[in-house]
Amino acid sequence: MDLGRIEEYYLDARQYDAENDDYALDIPFYVERARRSGGPVLEIGCGTGRVTLPIAREGIEIVGLDVAPAMLARLRDKAASENLPVSLVEADCRDFALGRPFPLIICPFSAMQHLQERASLESFLERVRAHLAAGGIFIFDVFNPNVEILASGAGERVRVFTYTDHESGEDVFVEEMIDYDDAAQVSHITWYCTGGGSDEIREETIHLRCFYPQELDMMLYYNRFELLEKLGTFSGEPFVAGLGRQIVVCRPV
């Protein structure tokens, strides 16, 4: 899967918010980096605005780009309800031209992991380069693959989290099954959701490319990006073994 084709998971923006609204670990980090840049900021894979809106609330100009119309529609409604001036663009992240430079481009919440093939990644990074102002910074985060988890969970359903359905007020229980393709380095993830006022089991699927740490560094190098910082937590710890995320701050060279 790539960001040019919309995953089924992103067709129901209301459900997406119910599942993800509580995740806020990255928001202070991205808001602070946006503040440092002075704006404008381009957010690629903005979704329903989980990161976009906190940046806009700081008075920083931000443009949100996403390929999923339902996600953008929900973000547009949220911004309007707060009277926040957020510009939104529906586009494939591998093929867009906004005609303006940005001192900061961000791609939060593992959005880059939807790009699976080398050509897609190279096109994406080329578009980022083309839209960065002189001295501009690109920041993104992806998972640090845990080989034991990828190998041990194959074909097994495991309870991973619970959230509250906003309409029914009832809890939804989510079990996860991972089928990892070690040749393509892609995790095919299925979530089985029960509860929330329904007796049906709702299935959601998502497909995420895994980037191993040294591979990720080389990919940036060969696409002419200089690695400025690599963090392992949004509180600023340097990336080391055992940390679950790779938070990358880089710029074109």
In this structure, are 128 and 165 located in the same domain? no
Q: In Å, what is the CA distance from 197 to each residue of 146, 166, 238?
A: 34, 11, 43
H or E element: which one contains 126?
A: helix 118-131
| Position 3 in a domain | no
Domain limits at 239? 8-144+211-252
pLDDT at 3 over 70: no
Q: Copy the structure tokens of residue 137.
A: 């910074």
In this structure, are 69 and 162 located in the same domain? no
In this structure, are 60 and 110 located in the same domain? yes
Q: Are strands 158-164 and 171-181 parallel, antiparallel or unpaired?
A: antiparallel
Say whether pTM exceeds 0.75: yes
In this structure, are 169 and 194 located in the same domain? yes
- Count how many domains the chain has: 2
Average pLDDT over residues 76-92: 98
What is the band of 4 on the pLDDT scale with cuts at 50, 70, 90?
very low
pLDDT for 101 equals 98
In this structure, are 35 and 82 located in the same domain? yes
pLDDT for 148 equals 79
| Position 1 in a domain | no
Give the CATH number of the domain where residue 128 resides: 3.40.50.150
| Position 220 in a domain | yes
In this structure, are 117 and 198 located in the same domain? no
Backbone angle region of 217, left / alpha / beta, with phi > 0 → left and psi within -120 to 50 → alpha: alpha
Q: What is the pLDDT of residues 200-251, one digit of tens each?
A: 888 999 999 999 999 999 999 999 999 999 999 999 999 999 999 999 999 9
Which are the contacts of 135, defined by CB distance < 8 A and separation ≥ 6?
103, 251
**CA angle at residue 233 from 15 to 119, to 5 degrees?**
70
Give the whole-angstrom CA distance, residue 106 versus residue 96: 15
pLDDT for 201 equals 83
pLDDT at 109 over 50: yes
In this structure, are 229 and 154 located in the same domain? no
In this structure, are 239 and 120 located in the same domain? yes
In this structure, are 60 and 182 located in the same domain? no
Give the whole-angstrom CA distance, residue 167 versus residue 173: 15
DSSP 43-89: EES-TTSTTHHHHHHTT--EEEEES-HHHHHHHHHHHHHTT---EEE
Strands (DSSP E) contained in the chain are 41-44, 62-66, 87-90, 102-107, 132-143, 158-164, 171-181, 186-195, 198-209, 225-231, 245-252
Q: Are strands 225-231 and 245-252 parallel, antiparallel or unpaired?
A: antiparallel
Average pLDDT, the chain: 93
Q: Are 197 and 99 in contact (CB under 8 A)?
A: no
Backbone angle region of 240, left / alpha / beta, with phi > 0 → left and psi within -120 to 50 → alpha: beta
pLDDT at 1 over 60: no
Q: In Å, what is the CA distance from 230 to each residue of 21, 161, 189, 227, 249?
A: 26, 28, 26, 7, 6
Count CB neighbours of 155 within 10 A: 7
What is the band of 104 on the pLDDT scale with cuts at 50, 70, 90?
very high
Average pLDDT over residues 165-190: 91
pLDDT for 141 equals 98
In this structure, are 66 and 136 located in the same domain? yes
Nearest to 186 by CA among 152, 145, 141: 145
| Position 61 in a domain | yes
| Position 166 in a domain | yes
pLDDT for 110 equals 97
In this structure, are 193 and 96 located in the same domain? no
What DSSP state is assigned to residue 237? P
pLDDT for 143 equals 97
In this structure, are 166 and 234 located in the same domain? no
